[in-house]
Amino acid sequence: MNNKVAVAMSGGVDSSLTAALLLERGFEVVGVTMLLADAQNLSDARNVCEHLGINHHVADFRKIFRAKVEDYFVAEYLRGRTPNPCVRCNREIKFGALFDFALNELDADFLATGHYARIVFDDERFKLKKAADVRKDQSYVLYNLTADKLAKIILPLGEFTKAETRRLADEMKLPVAHKPDSQEICFVPNDDYKSFVAARKPEADALQTGDIVDANGKVLGHHCGVANYTIGQRKGLGIAAEHPLYVTRLDVEGRKVFVDAGDKLFSDELTAHDAHWIYKPTLPKTLHAKIRYGSRVAACTVAEDENFLRVTFDEAQRAITSGQSIVFYDGDEVLGGAIID
């Protein structure tokens, strides 16, 4: 009997090709789409399943998605932090609720997704590694996986470039072969997070007006709410100065946005909480880390300090931002990560 694989299908080209490849390799494949919003369009995923001749299931996760992802997203901005909803969604929803649904409700042996990352079995354990295409690599957002789950997850696109994915999808005549990639946060209309947050909590302190000040507390201008600014931001400050100014600190309680010269954004140390290790090395340890999805890996020393991690970089990093994830690598292997304080 063939192993059964449930493929998380969003209706995009990556997840669609994932299903097609696994079907071609002899797996028993079913498609499953997460229902996350009331107005969500499921037609593309359904059409691809019909094209491939596989069953399509819908898992209604609207309630848990709002509680675990959307509410977290809003709360972090209102605390003056910058959340990473994709990291949270992968932990709580895709490889949490959906993983359980696939294995328990659909009786699947594996869950497969269209992420660009690799899972390999080496040295008698499963390892999460960067994708072969470093420009498309998504291993950063998967650091909350566990060794047990890695044994039950298949990521067929880890060896491909995006161009190869498009070419194969076209060769297989998938209906979504030329569908554009989504660049927006899936639950935020028009990618306007400010309006989304304001609609949820219009009376929050972080959305009230206040002062834009320099490092000495001198008032330079006024802002429309601390939650509408992020560390490292330059545009949209509405103040004139002799040299460029950037947001360096957010004070929700004092309703202040602090700005300073660009060189003040650099720091060689951070602390982080909520650490999760796929494979925990003996600490302190010299590793490489990314402080945001789009950043380059940087050499650092990671040490434990009571209930948090203290990370010291060999070279100062720009705009270290609270609420973002720091993810640790040993070569191309993801060891784990934590939330930046």
The pLDDT confidence band at residue 241, using thresholds 50, 70 and 90, is confident
Q: Are residues 150 and 97 part of one domain?
A: yes
Considering the domain boundaries, does residue 189 fall inside one?
no
Mean pLDDT on 50-75:
98
Considering the domain boundaries, does residue 192 fall inside one?
no
User: Given 260, 278, 296, which residue is the final one in a domain?
Assistant: 260
Mean pLDDT on 104-124:
97
Residue matched to tokens 């594996």: 110
Mean pLDDT on 200-209:
96
Which pLDDT belongs to residue 306?
A: 85
Considering the domain boundaries, does residue 256 fall inside one?
yes
89 is catalytic: yes
Catalytic residue among 86, 89, 224, 300: 89
* pLDDT tens-digit map of 133-180: 999 999 999 999 999 999 999 999 999 999 999 999 999 999 999 999
Share of the chain above pLDDT 70, in %: 100
Which pLDDT belongs to residue 184?
A: 80
Cβ–Cβ under 8 Å, residues 34 and 66: no
The pLDDT confidence band at residue 27, using thresholds 50, 70 and 90, is very high
Which pLDDT belongs to residue 183?
A: 75
Asked if the model's pLDDT at residue 242 lies above 90, the reply is no
Mean pLDDT on 108-137:
96
Q: What CATH number corresponds to the domain at position 209?
A: 2.30.30.280
Domain count, the chain: 3
Q: Are residues 244 and 112 part of one domain?
A: no
Q: Are residues 28 and 89 part of one domain?
A: yes
Q: What CATH number corresponds to the domain at position 320?
A: 2.40.30.10
Residue 256 identity (one-letter amino acid): K
Indicate the range of 11-25, 49-63, 91-105, 176-190 predicted with least confidence: 176-190
Q: Are residues 130 and 229 part of one domain?
A: no
186 is catalytic: yes
Q: Are residues 318 and 237 part of one domain?
A: no
User: Given 131, 148, 171, which residue is the final one in a domain?
Assistant: 171
Asked if the model's pLDDT at residue 56 lies above 90, the reply is yes
Mean pLDDT on 267-280:
98
Asked if the model's pLDDT at residue 129 lies above 90, the reply is yes
Q: Are residues 330 and 255 part of one domain?
A: no
Eight-class DSSP state of 95: I
What is the CB neighbour count within 10 angstroms for residue 78? 19
Considering the domain boundaries, does residue 196 fall inside one?
no
Mapping DSSP to helix (H, G, I), strand (E, B) and coil, where does residue 26 land?
coil
* pLDDT tens-digit map of 283-295: 999 999 999 999 9
Considering the domain boundaries, does residue 36 fall inside one?
yes
Mean pLDDT on 246-258:
97
Number of helices (H), then strands (E), belonging to the chain: the values are 9, 17
Q: Are residues 238 and 105 part of one domain?
A: no
Residue 8's domain comprises 4-171
Considering the domain boundaries, does residue 191 fall inside one?
no
Q: Are residues 219 and 95 part of one domain?
A: no
Which pLDDT belongs to residue 302?
A: 98
Give the pTM: 0.95
Considering the domain boundaries, does residue 79 fall inside one?
yes
Task: Give the relative orientation of helices 13-24 and 162-171 as an angle to the nearest 10 degrees.
Answer: 60
Distances in Å between the Cα of 36 and the Cα atoms of 59, 60, 89, 182, 271 are 9, 7, 11, 16, 33
Asked if the model's pLDDT at residue 255 lies above 90, the reply is yes
Q: Are residues 302 and 330 part of one domain?
A: yes
Share of the chain above pLDDT 90, in %: 92
User: Given 119, 150, 171, which residue is the final one in a domain?
Assistant: 171
Q: What CATH number corresponds to the domain at position 30?
A: 3.40.50.620
The pLDDT confidence band at residue 1, using thresholds 50, 70 and 90, is low
Mean pLDDT on 84-110:
98
Dmax (CA) for the chain in angstroms is 72
Which pLDDT belongs to residue 102?
A: 98
Which pLDDT belongs to residue 125?
A: 95
Q: Are residues 294 and 241 part of one domain?
A: no
Q: Are residues 319 and 294 part of one domain?
A: yes
Cβ–Cβ under 8 Å, residues 230 and 247: yes
Asked if the model's pLDDT at residue 336 lies above 80, the reply is yes
Considering the domain boundaries, does residue 212 fall inside one?
yes
User: How far is CA 155 from its chain centroid?
Assistant: 16
Q: Are residues 292 and 145 part of one domain?
A: no
Asked if the model's pLDDT at residue 4 lies above 90, the reply is yes
Tokens at 208, concatenated: 């009230």
